Amino acid sequence: MNDLCVEIGYNSINHEGEELCGDHVEAAGQGEESSVVVLADGLGSGVKANILSILTSRIISTMIAEGLPLEECVKAIAATLPICSVRKVAYSTFTIIRLINNEMAEIICYDNPPVILIRDGVPTDLPGRDMIVGGDKKVHKSDLRLQEGDILVAVSDGCPHAGIGVAYNFGWQLKDIADFVATASVAGYNAKTLSTMLVEECNRLYGGKPGDDATACVVRVRRREPVNILFGPPRNRDDDTRMMTLFFSKEGKRIICGGTTASIASQYLGAPITTELQYQASDLPPVAHMEGVDLVTEGIITISRVIEYAKDVLDQNERHEEWGYGHDGACLISRMLFEEATDVSFFVGRAVNPAHQDPNLPISFNIKMKLVEELSELLRKMGKRVKVMYF
């Protein structure tokens, strides 16, 4: 087993006037280190295209996740999909990216735009070959040994069609899409944010009136990065030292949430707490600094905001610029968790803070246990490894 892992992120915009997207992305795991992601593009737009793309992507991802060979899955789905009698094309096209042990990628495209490879920060040719499956269906297959920093980009044809007759005569060419992603990737954005930026640019090129559904799916290869969060003092004061010893023995970045928790850590380390004097314009409490800790913040209010951002990331990611560039505690934690972390460990104290038990407070002031459970589940949905320890 190597120390590489993959991030998978995707986003879509709908054809103008349509409630449903005719593209669909489905991701499925195959154990700890392997996964498959399928981008399907249903013919046309609207309800029919939406149903076809969902069926196609889910059938393929399920078959592969259950261990069927990639070629057999492609044969089965290609034989199943009908051909439009007028346009003479399949009712749904698809791109499959199968990631094996986070070391190899098998890629198959059936009438979708070719997958883009960004390696060492520059667009790179992805060699492959054409294959005939199911008797008469031509697919393009590539095999790739993954390297740290590799970025794979799969798009539906709504992306290269963006800007036709508006910004470009022949649309947003794949070469230009590759250059766009390569430039954006230098900043270290995660896969979800890269896909969001790509479809936002498509929407701009369409003049805000997309002439087709457009979907981008990004796979980013990176090394594992642990982040540790200390949240709340232990129920038993005698466990202070044990909790601190375990927390500070872990590799990776360290975040402390809560004033009482920070005071205990300060005593353990013999390091003072310094509050940030250049306070950012925000409705959140200020952050603080402590030697040996990467970030010190308030607890309940700050984590509640992080959860808001996490929910948005898993939806349309409309607030990515807010948390991606902000400097308050929630934004800083969000960048560490969403963009930097691959493995997150929570060290949660069970001590009850009387200030958070007032029934007159709004519902967001829930006990920290519920907040940790909710944030942990959201991070798992992002593909993070999450471990929670209670004290």
Same domain, 92 and 20: yes
Same domain, 314 and 240: yes
- Tell me if residue 249 falls in helix, strand or coil: helix
Number of structural domains in the chain:
2
Same domain, 205 and 252: no
pLDDT in tens, 339-354: 999 999 999 998 876 6
pLDDT in tens, 228-254: 999 999 988 888 999 999 999 999 999
Same domain, 209 and 263: no
User: Mean pLDDT score of the chain, rounded to an integer?
Assistant: 89
Q: Decide: 74 and 110 in contact? Cβ < 8 Å.
A: yes
Please state whether beta strands 92-100 and 34-42 pair in parallel, antiparallel, or not at all (unpaired).
antiparallel
Pick the closest to residue 312 from 380, 365, 378 (CA basis): 378
Same domain, 177 and 262: no
φ, ψ at 143 (rounded to 5°): -120, 135
CA atoms 66, 71, 76, 80: torsion sign: positive
> Which of 196, 223, 250 is the last residue in one of the domains?
223
Same domain, 265 and 196: no
Three-state SS annotation for 121-155:
CEEECCCCEEEEECCCEEEEEEEEECCCCCEEEEE
Same domain, 170 and 37: yes
The number of angstroms, rounded, from the C-alpha of 54 to the middle of its chain's C-alpha atoms is: 20
Residue where the block lists tokens 């098998």: 106
Question: What pLDDT, on the 0 to 100 scale, is given for residue 132?
Answer: 85
Same domain, 294 and 208: no
pLDDT in tens, 154-163: 999 999 999 8
Q: Decide: 172 and 159 in contact? Cβ < 8 Å.
A: yes
pLDDT in tens, 84-104: 666 655 578 899 999 999 999
Question: What pLDDT, on the 0 to 100 scale, is given for residue 364?
Answer: 40
The residue range of the domain holding 188 is: 4-223
Q: Is 60 exceeded by the pLDDT of residue 1?
A: no
Give the domain CATH number at 194: 3.60.40.10
